[in-house]
Structures are given as C-alpha cells and as structure tokens.
C-alpha cells in the first residue's frame, strides 16, 4: 500500500485491475485504492507476472503493507512501496505476508506519515458509516457510460459497495429478474443522493490542514492583476477554435504560475527535515473540488514546458479524472507547488493553506470588472486578485513578492505563454 | 439546425446530467442560472457547451455564452 499523500495512513483496495498470472510492466496500473479522499490508480514498480494478491478488495490496510507479489527476475515480492524514485528498484521485504508497515522513505519527500500518535487517523469506526457511497466513483462513471442502472447491479465490494467489476459483469451479462441466485439481493432503494464518501474525506483534509497550520509559519501576499490583455487574447484565440479546444483563463494562469515558479525555485519544492529541497521541475498541484464535497489537489506534471493548449487539455483531463475517481499515484504525490482557483465560486480572493511538504500555494479569485488606470486614463478592465501563501521557513516576503510580480508580468503577454 | 422546444429541453437536460450525473433537474426552475445552481466551474461549462454544440449540430461561440444561462435561455437559443 503506497502512501498517496502526506495525510494518508491507511488505504482500501477497491478494485484489482490485474489477477494472478497476468503479466505487468513497471508503471502499469494494477489496483485502485481508496484513500478516504479519492480513488487512485496505483501502478506497479516492478514488472513480471502477478503471483499472489495479498490484500483482497475491501480490506483496509496500513501504508507499507504489501498488496501483491510479482514473479519477475526471480521471485520478487512487490510491495508497491511508498513513493519511490522510479529509477530505484523496488526494495524487497523479506516476507511479504507480514502485515507490518515498513518505514516509508525515499522518493518525493513526504511528511512522516502516521508516527506521532496524536496525529493518527480517527479509528476506522468512522469509515464503516452506513451512509457511505454504495459505488466507487469509477463504477459510477462506468455505469453511466454503459447505461447501467447502478441500483440494479449486485454489489460484491466492501460494505455492499458496487465495484467497477460488478458493473462490467452486469453490463456484459444483464441478468433477467430472479435468475441471479448467488449474489446479494439487488437493492431496490436508490443510492442515497448527496452522500458522497461522507466523513472520511473531510477527516483527511482536516488532518492535513491542521498539520499545515500547526507546523508551517505562513506569510500572505496579494496583488491585483489586470487581465485585459489576456482576456482579449483568449477571446480572439477561441474564436478560431472548436469548443473542445477553447481555452479558459485558468489555463493561462496555470502556465504563468508554473513559469514563475521555475524562475523563483525557492518556492517550488519541499520542506523536509528542517531544510528546503527545490524540485527540478514544476509539478503544479491544482485544487479541484469534488462534487458532493471533498477536495483533491493532484499535480499536472512539468507545466512550465507545455504549450498553453496542452496545459488546457491536461487540465480538463485531470479535472474529469479527479471527479471520476481515476487519479494516478504520481499525480497525488508529486505536486511541488499548488494553485487554488476559487473564482468560479464567486469570491474575489482566497488566502490558502499550504499543502505540506510544499512551501507555497497560489490563490486566484474571480475575474471582476474594475475601474483601472492605464497610462493615466481610467478604464474598466477585468481584474484578478492573485495571492500567495508561502512558508516563511523557506522564503521571505521579498521572494514571494517577486514571484507574484512575475506571474503578473507573464500574464501581460499571453501570446508568449 | 433548429430543434423543437421539446428536443431542445431534452438535449439541455441530458447534457447537464452528463456533467452533473446526480443533478436534480426537476428541482431546477427554467429561469434559474444553472451555472450557480449546479456549481458548474468554467471547465464544466466548456464541456456543457461542447456537448450542446455536438448534440445540436450548431456552432456556439463564446459570444453566445451569455445566452446560455438558464434552461429557458438554452431552449430559446437552440430552437430559434
């Protein structure tokens, strides 16, 4: 069970994407894990043949617990370890069957997970709440695309949860009424509305944000950016584009933020073990609100090097997968700086809380028309309040101020983004 | 291509449900701005426009967006 975020102590396998005998290659997704916040695809760190599934669907295990064994070159147990540098071969625990979590280290720095008892997760009792969603997010999406009525699908997952496999099986072989003897009674009551992963995602966010405010001395900066040029450029550009390729202001904002982070590397990286470790690339975490509650901030990788049209496409893909519960491990663990955009919710500014172990969080509010002086003349321009919350251990306000000024300047020449 | 009122309503409703699968459209008044009601962000709205454009075979420009605020707006836009 890999650690899929600084706040994760345990996880539940909600779907296996492989079975014993399957051949896998390093990097293949092998399982879907529910982290309390989202369902994440977990990939294997070793290639070979799946030997044994050690953790069945529905079982909640500690981070570090081996999930499956893989026969590769020799019998290499596959521990799906906590974020491991891709170049490093997976470490080989002596006995995969031992349930003890191994020490988590290496890879993108993580906050130590689950050591101080005071910060441990609430007991699993909360998780067995009867109000839980009765289908995984992916199962829901799949059901929709296959036009399957979820309430009619016999559930085999934990606590009566409908898994994606259930949906597939059902779609492939829809049972006539009363010819489904063995599985559970299809429930006739519709899945509860508005009850999405109640309790636990909130608890996960609570843990992480509490840790952040307790440990990180934040400082906050704010500036107002004239987006007149950028919006006009977007409008011209979009006129030439089919809807599917049109850009939204957020795409420009993401690109400008990533470029600025690249130019101010003191804000891009991790604070671990009393020192700042800059990251090589800018993996921009994007805060995404999930329908029905909850928040994830998965990373768009290496945004600074992407053309703005690619940033847009990747952003759409990321948001869609986040809401469908199909994020990948690397996306959940590798953000080096995060941006939150609450503009669509109507507020003008947001002063965020940093995702540890990152050291900066950029906040964007709603784009509003404001009186604005340009060259001594007053006009009405679309304006954006841009904020920075940064870790004072890693940087001073001077650095943060230059960073925001860089974002502003970059947004004045959108055609160069 | 112009849709009938009924087809337009159905297309808009189905499109919204693609984006917000558990939206309660019966509780959404025709004159309610659904971007607020259903909490659509700019990406959701873009998907909405994309699906609406595909479903109706009609080009929708950014300048048309203000005419797509409510169910009534959309039906009017698609059926004229």
Domain assignment present for residue A127? The answer is: no
Tokens at B26, concatenated: 């019966």
Q: How far is B56 from chain A (nearest CA, A)?
A: 13
Residue with tokens 């650095």: A399
Concatenate the DSSP letters of all residues of A205-216 into one string. HHHHHHHHHHH-
**Helix-, strand-, coil-residue percentages of chain B, each rounded to 5:** 65, 0, 35
* C-alpha–C-alpha distance, residues A186 and A15, integer Å: 20
* Number of domains present in the structure of chain A: 3
Among partner residues B20, B40, B43, which is closest to A316 by beta-carbon distance? B43
The answer to whether the CB atoms of B41 and A344 lie below 8 A apart is: yes
pLDDT value, residue A170: 77
pLDDT value, residue A217: 97
Residues of A within 8 A of B65 (CB-CB) are: none
Q: Any idea what the CATH number is for the domain that residue A80 is in?
A: 2.40.50.100
Q: Which of B41, B44, B52, B53 to mutate to test the interface with A (most CBs of A within 10 A)?
A: B41
- Could you tell me which residues of chain B have a Cβ less than 8 Å from any Cβ in chain A? 18, 20-22, 24, 36, 39-43, 46-47, 49-50, 53, 60-62
> Would you call A23 helix, strand, or coil by DSSP?
strand
Residues of B within 8 A of A240 (CB-CB) are: none
Q: Any idea what the CATH number is for the domain that residue A171 is in?
A: 4.10.320.10
Domain assignment present for residue A372? The answer is: yes
Residues of A within 8 A of B62 (CB-CB) are: 235, 238-239, 246
The answer to whether the CB atoms of A243 and B60 lie below 8 A apart is: yes
Distance between terminal CA atoms of chain B?
A: 9
The answer to whether the CB atoms of B50 and A291 lie below 8 A apart is: no
Give the residue ranges of chain A where pLDDT is below 50: 74-78, 80-133, 177-199
pLDDT value, residue A108: 42
pLDDT value, residue A365: 94
Within this chain, do residues A74 and A170 fall inside the same structural domain, yes or no?
no
E strands within A204-247?
218-226
For residue B39, what is the nearest residue in chain A, using CA coordinates? Answer: A345
Q: What is the dihedral of CA A204, A208, A210, A214, to 10 degrees?
A: 160
Within this chain, do residues A149 and A94 fall inside the same structural domain, yes or no?
no
- The residue among B42, B34, B31 whose CA lies nearest residue B17 is B34
Residue with tokens 């002086």: A373
- The residue among A202, A211, A157 whose CA lies nearest residue A355 is A211
Within this chain, do residues A16 and A158 fall inside the same structural domain, yes or no?
no
A332 exposure class (CB count in 10 Å sphere: 0-12, 13-18, 19+): buried
Query: What are residue A315's phi and psi, to 5 degrees?
Result: -65, -45
Domain assignment present for residue A166? The answer is: yes
- The residue among A350, A356, A360, A347 whose CA lies nearest residue A391 is A360
Residues of B within 8 A of A251 (CB-CB) are: none
E strands within A117-268?
218-226
Domain assignment present for residue A30? The answer is: yes
Residue A93, domain extent? 10-119
Within this chain, do residues A144 and A113 fall inside the same structural domain, yes or no?
no
Domain assignment present for residue A2? The answer is: no
Beta bridge partner(s), residue A368: A383
Q: How far is B31 from chain A (nearest CA, A)?
A: 20
User: Mean pLDDT per 10-residue run, chain B (80 residues)?
Assistant: 86 92 88 89 92 92 92 91
Within this chain, do residues A348 and A265 fall inside the same structural domain, yes or no?
yes
pLDDT value, residue A346: 80
Asked if residues A267 and A276 have their Cβ atoms less than 8 Å apart, the reply is: no
The answer to whether the CB atoms of A345 and B50 lie below 8 A apart is: no
- The residue among B52, B39, B68 whose CA lies nearest residue A323 is B39
Residues of B within 8 A of A235 (CB-CB) are: 62
Residues in Cβ contact with A124 at an 8 Å cutoff, skipping those fewer than 6 apart: A10, A60
Among partner residues B24, B42, B49, which is closest to A344 by beta-carbon distance? B42
Within this chain, do residues A162 and A262 fall inside the same structural domain, yes or no?
no
Domain assignment present for residue A328? The answer is: yes
For residue A318, what is the nearest residue in chain B, using CA coordinates? Answer: B43
Within this chain, do residues A231 and A359 fall inside the same structural domain, yes or no?
yes
Q: Would you tell me which CATH number, out of the four given (3.20.20.10, 1.10.1200.10, 3.30.930.10, 3.40.1380.10), belongs to the domain B5-78?
A: 1.10.1200.10
Final residue before a domain boundary, out of A57, A88, A119? A119
Q: Where are the domains of chain B?
A: 5-78
Q: Which of A344, A347, A365, A366 to mutate to test the interface with B (most CBs of B within 10 A)?
A: A344
* C-alpha–C-alpha distance, residues A272 and A275, integer Å: 6
Query: What are residue A269's phi and psi, to 5 degrees?
Result: 160, -150
Q: How far is A223 from chain B (nearest CA, A)?
A: 23
A256 touches chain B (CB under 8 A): no
- The reply to whether omega before A294 is within 30° of 0 (cis) is no
Within this chain, do residues A352 and A399 fall inside the same structural domain, yes or no?
yes
Within this chain, do residues A300 and A343 fall inside the same structural domain, yes or no?
yes
Taking only the tens place, the pLDDT of each residue in A254-282 is 999 999 999 999 999 999 999 999 999 99
Which pairs count as long-range contacts for B31-34, CB under 8 Å and 24+ apart, including other chains?
A: B31/B70, B31/B71, B31/B72, B32/B70, B32/B71, B33/B69, B33/B70, B34/B69, B34/B70, B34/B71
Tell how many helices (H) and how many strands (E) occur in chain A. 8, 20
Concatenate the DSSP letters of all residues of A290-344 into one string. PTTS-EE-PEETTGGGS-HHHHHHHHHHHHHHHHHT-EEHHHHH--SEEEEE-GG
For residue B19, what is the nearest residue in chain A, using CA coordinates? Answer: A320
Q: How far is A308 from chain B (nearest CA, A)?
A: 15
Q: How far is A241 from chain B (nearest CA, A)?
A: 9
* C-alpha–C-alpha distance, residues B38 and B76, integer Å: 20
The answer to whether the CB atoms of B21 and A243 lie below 8 A apart is: no
Q: Please provide the size of chain B in residues.
A: 80
Final residue before a domain boundary, out of A175, A191, A207? A191
Tell me how crowded residue A330 is: count the other CB atoms within 10 A of its CB: 20
Query: What are residue A219's phi and psi, to 5 degrees?
Result: -125, 155
CB pairs under 8 A between A and B: 40
């Amino acid at each position: 069970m890999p650690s899929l975020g600084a706040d994760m102590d345990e996880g539940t396998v909600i779907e296996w994407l492989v079975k014993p005998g399957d051949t896998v290659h390093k990097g293949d997704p092998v399982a879907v894990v529910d982290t309390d916040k989202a369902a994440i695809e977990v990939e294997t760190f070793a290639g070979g043949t799946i030997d044994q599934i050690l953790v069945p669907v529905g079982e909640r295990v500690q981070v570090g617990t081996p999930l499956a064994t893989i026969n590769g070159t020799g019998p290499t147990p596959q521990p799906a370890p906590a974020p491991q540098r891709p170049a490093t071969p997976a470490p080989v625990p002596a006995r995969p069957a031992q349930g003890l979590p191994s020490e988590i280290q290496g890879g993108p720095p993580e906050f130590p997970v689950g050591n101080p008892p005071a910060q441990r997760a609430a007991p699993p009792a909360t998780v067995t709440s009867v109000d839980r969603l009765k289908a995984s997010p992916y199962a829901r999406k799949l059901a929709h695309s296959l036009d399957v009525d979820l309430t009619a699908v016999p559930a085999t997952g934990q606590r009566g949860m409908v898994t994606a496999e259930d949906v597939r099986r059902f779609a492939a072989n829809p049972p006539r009424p009363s010819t489904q003897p063995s599985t559970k009674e299809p429930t006739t009551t519709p899945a509860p509305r508005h009850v999405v992963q109640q309790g636990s995602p909130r608890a996960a966010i609570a843990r992480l944000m509490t840790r952040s405010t307790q440990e990180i001395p934040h400082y906050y900066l704010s500036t107002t950016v004239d987006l007149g040029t950028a919006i006009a450029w977007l409008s011209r550009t979009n006129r030439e584009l089919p809807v599917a390729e049109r850009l939204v202001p957020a795409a420009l904002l993401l690109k400008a933020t990533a470029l600025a982070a690249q130019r101010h590397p003191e804000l891009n990286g991790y604070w671990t073990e009393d020192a700042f470790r800059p990251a090589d690339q800018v993996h921009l975490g994007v805060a995404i609100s999930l329908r029905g509650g909850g928040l994830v901030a998965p990373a768009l990788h290496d945004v600074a090097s992407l053309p703005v049209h690619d940033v847009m496409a990747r952003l759409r893909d990321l948001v869609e997968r986040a809401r469908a519960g199909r994020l990948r491990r690397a996306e959940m663990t590798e953000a080096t700086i995060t941006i939150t955009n609450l503009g669509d919710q109507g507020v003008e500014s947001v002063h965020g809380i940093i995702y540890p172990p990152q050291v900066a969080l950029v906040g964007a509010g709603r784009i509003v028309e404001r009186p604005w002086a340009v060259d001594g003349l007053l006009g009405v321009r679309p304006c954006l309040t841009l904020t920075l919350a940064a870790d004072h251990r890693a940087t001073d306000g001077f650095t943060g101020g230059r960073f925001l000024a860089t974002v502003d300047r970059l947004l004045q020449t959108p055609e160069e983004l | 291509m112009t849709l009938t009122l009924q087809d337009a309503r159905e297309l808009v409703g189905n499109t919204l449900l693609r984006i917000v699968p558990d939206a309660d459209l019966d509780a959404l008044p025709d004159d309610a701005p659904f971007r607020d009601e259903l909490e659509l962000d700019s990406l959701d709205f873009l998907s909405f426009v994309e699906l609406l454009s595909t479903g109706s075979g009609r080009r929708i420009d950014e300048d048309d967006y203000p005419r797509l605020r409510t169910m009534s707006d959309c039906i009017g836009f698609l059926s004229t």
